[in-house]
Amino acid sequence: MIHLKFSPEWFYLPSTIIDFFSFIVIISISLISLRYYRLNKLNKKYYYLAFSFFLVGMSFLFKLITNLTVYYDQISPINNPEIIKTTVDTIISYNIFSYLTFAAFTFLNLLGLYYLYSVYNKEQPKSSIFLIAYFILITTYFSQLNYYIFHLTALILLGLITTLYIKKYQISKYPNTKGLAYSFGIIAISQLLFIFTKIGNLFYVAGEIIQLGGYALLLLIIKKVLNDGKKTK
């Protein structure tokens, strides 16, 4: 499979668990942002944040679906009807299913990161959205041929997001904003490691673990935001 091609076989299951945790965390962020927007509909920033994290979260859902093809040979019952087994084996052999789901993962992930970046970047012209959409589509296509193109693009977007949060923290001095900058910075480092998985599959293991750390930090920030909100009531 495309995104697990360089992962050690023993790390398939832990990798899927990590991706599942990331999915839960990101969707939680989306729901919390949507909740804040409903409390203050004049501030559409929370609505855009909810939408951005929803796209990223759904991308991990497609990645999880793609993972199922990796485990098919291990979890498929031997007594499956021959016609079903033959059909599934044919789909997997041509990589049709993983191709479509990985394309969805790549597209939604990059689109979500771009929207997240655009929430705080007010300087870019609205007309550039068409150019960005084209760029994301092209990246999605070529990521099927060279996996690291996706991770390189994600690294750039995450680097820009981290920079924006750093600048925002320098203005507001809000601790949660600083935490967001750290978490996105950690996730950006994980994308850098993913780029080098062709050199050694342990880079993939390190990337997944560091990515988990980034999303775990996001989860802690969410809990802190909720606790701060309860104290102000």
The residue type at 128: S
Query: What pLDDT was estimated at residue 1?
Result: 45
Give the pLDDT confidence of 38-94 residue by residue, as tens digits.
877 777 888 888 899 999 999 999 988 877 766 555 545 445 555 545 545 554 554
Contact yes or no for 224/174 (Cβ under 8 A): no
**R_g of the chain computed on alpha carbons:** 19
Task: Give average pLDDT by consecutive 10-residue segment, the chain, 233 residues.
Answer: 62 84 89 83 82 94 79 51 52 63 92 89 71 90 87 95 90 85 94 90 92 86 67 55
Q: Using CB atoms within 10 A of its CB, is residue 92 exposed (0-12), middle (13-18) or buried (19+)?
A: middle
Q: Which DSSP string corresponds to 24-57? A: HHHHHHHHHHHHHHHH-TT-THHHHHHHHHHHHH
Task: Give the Cα separation of 223 and 150 in Å (integer).
Answer: 30
Q: Which pLDDT score is estimated for 39?
A: 78
Residues 77, 86: Cα–Cα separation, whole Å: 13
Burial of 165 (0-12, 13-18, 19+ CB in 10 A): buried
Kindly report the pTM of this predicted structure: 0.84
Give residue limits of the domains in the chain.
Answer: 9-231
